[in-house]
Amino acid sequence: METIGASRCPDCGLVVAPPVRICPRHPVEMTPVQVSAYGSVLSYTTLMVAPEGFKPPLHIAVVELPGGARIFCHGKETRALRIGRRVAI
Amino acid sequence: MRDVWIAAAAMTRFGRRSEKLEDLIADAALEALREADCQPDALVVTAMAPEEFVGEGNFASHTGTYLGLSHVPAIRVETATSSGAAALYVGFALIASGFHQTVLVVGGEKMTHVSTPRVSEIISRVIDPHERSYGATMPALAAIVARAALAKGLITETDMARIAVKNHGNGARNPYAHFQRPVTLEQVMSSRMIADPLRLQHCCPISDGAAAVLLTSDPTGLKLAGMGQGSDYLAVRYRSSLTAFRATQDAAKAAYKMAGFGPERVEVAEIHDAFTPFEILALEDTGLFSPGKAAKAAQNGELTLEGRLPVNPSGGLKARGHALAATGLAQVVELAWQLTGRAVGRQVKARVGLAHSIGGMATNNWVTLVEQVA
């Protein structure tokens, strides 16, 4: 199964991706972990006005991975996308 | 803690202005000083990105010297798009603590001379670097919030458009507004798509402008009754909810606690509608409406100038405009004018007003309560 790098807080258990040094909830150093790269879509948009370095239409989604980490990713299109849909990032 | 009072409030018209930033700031500042006929013993200055937009640094001293106030302490405050509200908070604290007696809080932004892609890039720097690396702009993050709110049934696309229609209607009656013309529901719902589901007419404009509020320890009748701040993660992906802003909820709670009254006393509100769905979400996060009730209130006309709770009589960020660091102060200027019967053309009947300001994607938010006690 494909995985991506993430961080887990040894105190509160929060998992975030991509990895960070310190837990966003409190000043505690995080532990590196791997999490599944398959998750469900929380929300998404298609940008018709893209910032410098990107070409519209730009599809951006927020995906929640097993363990609770959420990550931004690009999609080929969003026409068939629905909130809650399972995707590979 | 001492009570803090508003001695004067002034602003320039927002919009595409040809004056330089220093002169916009001076127009607002000098008008406030003339109105109160007194001199400040401290200056709080705010501009979100003068280094990038106009190439000036050391901006507190720069402004102090330009205004002829180089002999008093000058401090610059910056919290992204809520900088004006944050500057007011610092001014409030300087007086409440007894450090100073009269504080001029002034903010401005000048952006329209810069190309729109460049302005967007500069504003986008307020976003978390990982999220920005995927091309996330402020409209993109707002669209992600709006999409989640639509899916939850908190708002509809018609609700999002209805807010724009209402706020443009108010802006059309405000001589200080960037846009002084109404728009129709059809125009909003057929305007070009920016970040699906947000269309151009759901988004606030890029505006120039300045606003100033003069604070004093001497009772004036117009009391800064409460100020509260709320924080959230810079990263939108760390938050447990995409559709409720903890930073607004915490700011509102703190402001009500300081004021000693709750949302039931608020009779007019200036809300940070940088994107129209935010007005509906903020009305619930501030406790002005129960969860799930704000969209219905908009549908029933309760938020209009004649309604039960007029919201954004100035036109809001959508129509009055959004001159970044000036905006949080312009909201309080509008409340000061509304509570003292000087909001010509758009006057409502109110003794207590609430201003709500969002910094970044709701990472550093403020709620301010102004009360007419005389």
Q: How many CB pairs under 8 A join A and B?
A: 83
Number of domains in chain B: 1
Q: ipTM of the assembly?
A: 0.95
Total length of chain A: 89
Instruction: Note whether residue B31 is domain-resident.
Output: yes
B38: its two tokens: 């007194």
Paired residues of B195 in beta bridges = A47, B198
Q: Tokens 């930033």 label which residue? A: B21
A58 in B contact zone (CB under 8 Å)? yes
Q: B339 pLDDT band (50/70/90 cuts)? A: very high
**CA-to-CA dists, residue B74 to A84, B78, B133, B333, angstroms:** 51, 13, 36, 21
Residue A8 and residue A14 in contact, taking contact as beta carbons nearer than 8 Å? yes
Q: Specify the DSSP class assigned to residue B265.
A: G
B279 in a structural domain: yes
Indicate the pLDDT class of residue A75, thresholds 50, 70 and 90: confident
Evaluate whether residue B45 is within a structural domain. yes
pLDDT digits over B254-273, tens only? 999 999 999 999 999 999 99
Residue of A nearest to B136 (CA): A60
Q: How far apart are CA B244 and CA B195, in angstroms?
A: 20
Any CB–CB contact under 8 A between A43 and chain B? yes
Q: Is B18 on the interface with A (CB under 8 A)?
A: no
Q: What is the identity of the amino acid at B116?
A: T
B19 located within any domain? yes
pLDDT tens for B28-81 read 999 999 999 999 999 999 999 999 999 999 999 999 999 999 999 999 999 999
Q: Are B174 and B321 in contact (CB under 8 A)?
A: no
CATH number of domain containing B32: 3.40.47.10
Amino acid symbol at B321? G
Residue B139 and residue A58: Cβ atoms within 8 Å? no
Element (H, E) at B120: helix B116-124
Angle (deg, nearest 10), helices B246-259 and B276-285? 50
B5-23 burial, b for 16+ CB within 10 Å, e for fewer?
A: bbbbbbbbbbbebebbbbb
SS3 B152: helix
How far is B94 from B86, CA to CA, in rounded Å?
A: 12
Contact state of B147 with A46 under an 8 Å Cβ cutoff:
no
Cα–Cα distances in angstroms (integers) from residue B127 to residues A50, B107, B121, B134, B251, in the given order: 15, 22, 10, 11, 20
A56 part of contact set with chain B, CB < 8 Å? no
Which chain A residues in 3-22 lie under 8 Å from chain B, judged by CB atoms?
16, 18
The residue of chain B with its CA nearest to that of A57 is: B195
Residue in B142, B149, B125, B150 with CA at minimum distance from that of residue B236: B142
Chain A closest-CA separation from residue B255 CA (Å): 24
**Residue B106, domain member (yes or no):** yes
Output the six-digit token pair for B46.
């705010």
pLDDT tens, residue by residue, B94-146: 999 999 999 999 999 999 999 998 999 999 999 999 999 999 999 999 999 99
- pLDDT value for A52: 84
Flag whether B77 is in a domain: yes
| pLDDT over 90 at A18, yes or no | yes
Measured CA angle at A43 (ends A54, B294), to 5 deg: 120
Q: Are B44 and B75 a contacting pair, CB within 8 Å?
A: yes
- Is the per-residue pLDDT at B178 higher than 90? yes
Return the percentage of chain A with pLDDT > 90, whole number: 80
- Is B192 within 8 Å of A48 when comparing Cβ atoms? yes
Domain boundaries, chain A: 3-88
Dihedral Cα B163, B322, B241, A54, nearest 10 deg = 110
Per-residue model confidence (pLDDT) at position B91: 98
* Residue A79 scores a pLDDT above 80: no
B168 located within any domain: no
Q: CA of B373, closest CA in chain A: separation in Å?
A: 41
Q: Are strands B268-270 and B198-199 parallel, antiparallel or unpaired?
A: unpaired
Residue B374 pLDDT greater than 80, yes or no: no
Q: Are strands B352-357 and B268-270 parallel, antiparallel or unpaired?
A: parallel
In the predicted model, what is the mean pLDDT of residues B166-186? Answer: 98
User: DSSP secondary-structure letter at B257?
Assistant: H
Residue A70's identity, in one-letter code, is R
Once rounded to an integer, what is the mean pLDDT over residues B138-167? 97
DSSP letter at B14?
P
Say how far apart CA B320 and CA B325 lie, in whole Å.
14
| Structure token pair of residue A72 | 């931004």
- Give the domain range for residue B97: 5-113+206-372
Q: What's the confidence (pLDDT) of residue B188?
A: 98
Task: Quickly list DSSP for B192-206.
Answer: PEEETTEEGGGBPPP
For the residues B206-232, what does the mean pLDDT come to?
A: 98
**pTM score:** 0.97
Element (H, E) at A38: strand A38-47
